[in-house]
Amino acid sequence: MKNHWIAKGLGGALALALAAPAFAEDSIYVPLFTYRTGPFAGSGTPVADGMHDYLTMLNERDGGIGGVKLVIDECETGYDTKKGLECYDTVKPRGPVLINPWSTGITLSLIPKASVDKIPILSMAYGLSAAARGDIFPWIFNPPDTYWDGASQILKYLGGGSVDGLKGKTVGYLYFDAAFGREALPFFQTAAKDAGFDLKLYPVAPADMQNQGSKWLDIRRDKPDFLVMYGWGAMNPTAIKEAVKANFPMDKFVSIWWPNDADAASAGEGAKGFKELNWHGAGADYPAFADIKKLVIDAGKSQAQVGEFGATLYGHGVFNSMLIAEAIATAQKVTGHKVVTGEDVRRGLENINFDDARLKAIGLAGFASPFKITCADHNSHGATFVQQWDGAKWVRVSDAITSSSELVQPLIDAAAKSYAEKNAGWPQRTEPCDNKS
C-alpha cells in the first residue's frame, strides 16, 4: 500500500491547480457541459457549438449581459454520468450560475444536489419530466416541453389533430432503451388504450444503436401505419438509414426533436420526407444568427464545422443559450445585482417571459414561439410543429401543435409526487416566488 500516497499527492497537486485560476469579480461563470467525444459526439458537437457560439456572440457584441462579461467554460462529459459528476465538482468551486447537463443520466444525479448547492439546473426538453412542477422542483427547469408533451403532440399530429384519429391504426415506437426513451412509454401505452390504436414497441439498447437490423426486420413484418422515434446520438442516423433500406414510407416516420440535419442527410435521397417535431425555427435566417456568423464564426472563434451552422441541433444549442442569457438578464432585473449568483439565476429562470417583443429585441423573432416560465410551471408545455426533410433542409409542414395537457399533466403530477415520496425527506419548497399570478 506504499505507493498509495503518490496518488494522494497527485490529487492534492491537482486540487491546487484547479483552485488556482481565480475569476475576476465582475464576470459571470457559465460552464457548459458538452460532449464532442464518444458515441454521442455526433449529436453533442452541434449542440455544444450552438451553445458556445451564442454566448460568445453576446460577449463580443454586447460585452456580456448587462455589461458583465460571461466566462464560458466547456467541460467534456462524453455523455458519461461519472465524468459529468467530475465536471460538476470541477466547476462548483467557481460559482456557476446554472448547469446544463445535456444528459438524462447526469441530470438525475444532479437533481438532488441542486437545492443543496444552490445551483439551478436547466435541462432543456430532456431530463426528468416531473421537474416541470416548480413547487416540488424549485431548482430544476426543463422548458419548453417534456417528452410526454412531445409524445402527445406527435400522436395528435399523426391522428390528424386529435389522438382519437388514430383509432384502429398501428403505431410503432422505436426508442432508445434507457431512461430517456422509456419515460414516454407509459404515455404511449395509456394513449393506445384510450384512443384504441395498436402500439408496437421497438426498443434499441444503447449498445445496439448502430446495429438495429433486427428491429427493422420486426418493423417490416409488423408494417405499422406510423413510426415514432425517440433516439439520440448514433441511433438517429442509423434508424433513418435503416428506414430507407426497409422502404418505410418516410412521411409516416416522425421523430422527437433530436435528429440533426446531418443525420437525415447521411441517409441520402431516400431520407426525403422524414419528419421531426421541433419547437424552434429551422435555418439561420434570424438577426441573432447573423451576428453569430459575423462576430464568432467568421472571426474564427467557433469550432463549428461547415454546414453545422443553422442545423437543428445547432439551433437547440442556441435556444439553450438563449434561455441561459435570458435567465441571467432577468435575474439582473429582478434582483438588481449585476454579478448574479445561482440563487439569483433561479429567480431569473422563474421569471422568464418571452413575448413577441422580447424575442424581437434579442434578434430571434420567429425563431421561438412566445412562452413563459412561472414558479408553478417550470416547463411551459409550449406548442411545437412538425418539420419535414426535403433532401437538403427542413421545411415546416404543420401549424402549431399544442400539448394535450389533460393527458400530460396527470402524469407529471403523479411522477412528481412519486419522486418526492420515494426520496423520503425531499425538501418542501421554501424559495419565495416572484410571480404569484
# residues near other proteins by CB under 8 A: 64
Per CB under 8 A, the list member of 60, 165, 169, 179 interacting with other proteins is: 179
Question: Residue 339's CB: how many other CB atoms inside 10 A?
Answer: 17
- In the stretch 205-244, what mask flags binding to other proteins with x, by CB under 8 A? xxx-------------------------------------
Q: Encode the chain in three state secondary structure.
A: CCCHHHHHHHHHHHHHHHHCCCCCCCEEEEEEEECCCCCCHHHHHHHHHHHHHHHHHHHHHHCCECCEEEEEEEEECCCCHHHHHHHHHHHHHHCCCCECCCCHHHHHHHHHHHHHHCCCEECCCCCCHHHHECCCCCCEECCCCCHHHHHHHHHHHHCCCCHHHHCCCEEEEEEECCHHHHHCHHHHHHHHHHHCCEEEEEEECHHHCCCCHHHHHHHHHHCCCEEEEECCCCHHHHHHHHHHHCCCCHHHEEECCCCCHHHHHCCHHHHCCCEEEECECCCCCCHHHHHHHHHHHCCCCCCCCCCCCCCHHHHHHHHHHHHHHHHHHHHHHHHCCCCCCHHHHHHHHHCCEECHHHHHHCCCECCECCEECCCCECCCCCCEEEEEECCCCEEECCCCECCCHHHHHHHHHHHHHHHHHHCCCCCCCCCCCCCCC
- Binding range to other proteins, per CB under 8 A, among 100-108, 157-165, 265-273, 340-348: 100-108
Per CB under 8 A, the list member of 28, 30, 36, 235 interacting with other proteins is: 36
Per CB under 8 A, the list member of 11, 168, 213, 410 interacting with other proteins is: 11
Per CB under 8 A, the list member of 43, 56, 59, 81 interacting with other proteins is: 81
Q: Rounded CA gap, 393 and 312, in Å? A: 10
Closer to other proteins by CB, 139 or 279: give it.
Answer: 139
Closer to other proteins by CB, 270 or 427: give it.
Answer: 427
Q: Taking a C-beta distance cutoff of 8 angstroms, is the pair 98, 342 a contact?
A: yes
* Least distance CB 113 / other proteins (angstroms): 5
Question: Does residue 75 belong to the site contacting other proteins (CB under 8 A)?
Answer: yes
* Least distance CB 112 / other proteins (angstroms): 4
- Binding range to other proteins, per CB under 8 A, among 13-21, 230-238, 350-358, 390-398: 13-21
Question: Does residue 14 belong to the site contacting other proteins (CB under 8 A)?
Answer: yes
Per CB under 8 A, the list member of 66, 170, 265, 426 interacting with other proteins is: 426
Question: Does residue 424 belong to the site contacting other proteins (CB under 8 A)?
Answer: yes
Q: Which three cell numbers stand for residue 222?
A: 409488423
Stretch 272-301 residues interacting with other proteins (CB under 8 A)? none
Question: Does residue 21 belong to the site contacting other proteins (CB under 8 A)?
Answer: yes
Closer to other proteins by CB, 119 or 240: give it.
Answer: 119
Stretch 112-141 residues interacting with other proteins (CB under 8 A)? 112-113, 115-116, 128-130
Per CB under 8 A, the list member of 60, 62, 86, 218 interacting with other proteins is: 86
* Least distance CB 181 / other proteins (angstroms): 9
Closer to other proteins by CB, 186 or 370: give it.
Answer: 186
Question: Does residue 182 belong to the site contacting other proteins (CB under 8 A)?
Answer: yes
Give me the residues that bind other proteins (CB under 8 A), please: 1-8, 10-15, 17-21, 34, 36-37, 74-76, 78, 81-82, 85-86, 89-90, 92-93, 104-105, 108-109, 111-113, 115-116, 128-130, 177-179, 182-183, 186, 205-207, 303, 415, 418-419, 422-426
